[in-house]
Structure 1
């Protein structure tokens, strides 16, 4: 994405720094909360996967913020391509992890015999397939953006509809439509079968849709019918919203599990080590 106006670049950069700082603060608390707590580490394996993906993307947010606060793109075209690869990979892993959290929460509450079964294998598949999908534009299936002096975000070159049409539609089905269906399905089953309210069941699918739907629609329309000249505030909004999810994720999942929430409160209040679960 390119931004020509210096004021908009500055505002965008400041927001990216704020999102990155909020995400890192939340995951710092989460990391300390599960430190030396083996049971909690096993229970939150998919949240940890999400945390790793979000932290990976957070480093890219800082790159974006630095570029936005400069008058021109300060890195080369190769760095732009690498940034696009890392951002896509992190986003794909995050979406898959959020989907698996829904499945995992259902298993924990309603199908304990399935909880933890082959999780290592599925975790490896999530990361491998996400990295593979993110790398496909480097091999001709899709196209990364190329850096110009006004570049602030490197992702897919949506203006090249011919190169990205198949890639965007494939990704939309696998990493947007399918996850949304799975999330709603498993959270609905969780609410029905557990007969108790769950924060994640009500909040996560809605927040996910709010953050990712605008970009998914924007990308799909841009590579199929073309959107022509888009107001700059729309471009900024559709690029910011998915990144906002990285900032709210740690706080949503802290609140959604009583044991994890208590561990996080212990970190914040600096409770003594002997009170921590071994």
Structure 2
């Protein structure tokens, strides 16, 4: 049996307006008392924090946690997960993700219409659709090819080489892009779900306390899949549950080279587990 109250956890970093839009897209459920929202602010600027404080001051079901340091994406989500688990034990199912999401009116009901998957799988990955209609899931249906892995190594070897690869990838996108997302209408087990949004089920919290988070930013999709595979599970992709993703609201706040450095650090950790040769 799936209890009918849902938790939501988002991270915020200097873009409170996205966080507010995400929360307001859940307004109908907010007034019903069937959801609890937690926002973990990753040490934003004072102005951004004040916006959040003002917004949340009269919201009974919205809690803001202000981290004194920027702990990164999954570590930030874990702060919110622990808060919900400690303060709202009646919540068994938690939606986690970026703050640049918009939830359709049927989001809450779509979860309970698919409850058989929520009792079987630890993590459900929804259909994530960008504002211009691009489907970002199923992100990786099977493992990544050795050829693509080789280019990942080249990409992370040098920042300027990485920029050249990105430009080349845009030019050759029709030929070189992975085709996994083309199967967005097909539900089933997948290797990795896109990191902007996951739904953690009662099965997840039976197996784990929190998300695996060895990286500050980037490669979260892999580390979550690894966490599940070690217990014999895969992520389940369910297209009847969907969200809109406004794409990279937080990471776009970072300088390009710093973002690449974060990716390089995460790739180094990734290579400890996935060997190219």
TM-score (norm 2): 0.28
Q: Which structure shows the bigger proportion of residues in strand conformation?
A: 2
Q: Which structure shows the bigger proportion of residues in helix conformation?
A: 1
